[in-house]
Amino acid sequence: MSRVSIQTTDFDLSAEVAALRAGDAGVGAVASFVGTVRDRNDGSSVSGMELEHYPGMTERAIEAMIDEAQRRFDIRAARVVHRVGPLRPGDQIVLVAVSSAHRGQAFQACEFLMDYLKTQAPFWKKEATPAGARWVDARVADDGALARWGIQANNA
């Protein structure tokens, strides 16, 4: 299966994890992260959002992140699904799933991929609030999260 999917449709965590470890009896651990749309952000209620991306670059950037995770951690496979287009509060946005022989490397690689994706993958969120639509600001804390892995983000 492909390692990266950018799609408007929802994803099924169970099906994704089953596919990730199918046919690999060396897998002893799967760690996954699912990001979802909140109904509040920066002091406003949020009734929905639109996710824009840079087709082509997005896939390349995430493929490169998975390559880097494979170099840094003893993992067997990784999968990233990120949705684009209109989304509502409660919807799933992003999935990162990693398989490995033991839990430690799976947990770490999953967090590494998510930290990397937050500041280096070209996605932009525009949220609908009672005061109108607004582009979401990048967070300095997300740059800090990537810095823990020794990578300078320069995003926010």
Torsion sign over Cα 18, 21, 26, 32: negative
Q: Name residue, tokens 């590494």.
A: 112
Q: Give the nearer residue to another protein in terms of CB position, either 58 or 99.
A: 58
Distance, CA of 73 to CA of 78 (rounded, Å): 11
| Residue 45 structure tokens | 């209620």
Enumerate residues 23-82 that contact another protein by CB under 8 A: 35, 51-54, 56-57, 60-61, 82
Minimum CB separation of residue 87 from another protein in Å reads 12
| Residue 69 structure tokens | 């995770």
The mark string for 123-152 relative to another protein (x by CB under 8 A, - otherwise) is xxxx--------xxxx--------------
Q: Give the nearer residue to another protein in terms of CB position, either 27 or 93.
A: 93
Task: Please list, in sequence order, all residues whose beta carbon lies within 8 angstroms of the beta carbon of residue 4, skipping any fewer than 6 positions away.
Answer: 59, 62, 63, 66, 79, 80, 81
Q: Give the nearer residue to another protein in terms of CB position, either 73 or 123.
A: 123
The mark string for 81-120 relative to another protein (x by CB under 8 A, - otherwise) is -x----------xx-------------------x--xxxx
Minimum CB separation of residue 141 from another protein in Å reads 12
Q: How far is CA 121 from CA 32, 83, 112, 130, in A?
A: 18, 13, 13, 28
Residues that bind another protein (CB under 8 A): 35, 51-54, 56-57, 60-61, 82, 93-94, 114, 117-126, 135-138, 154-156
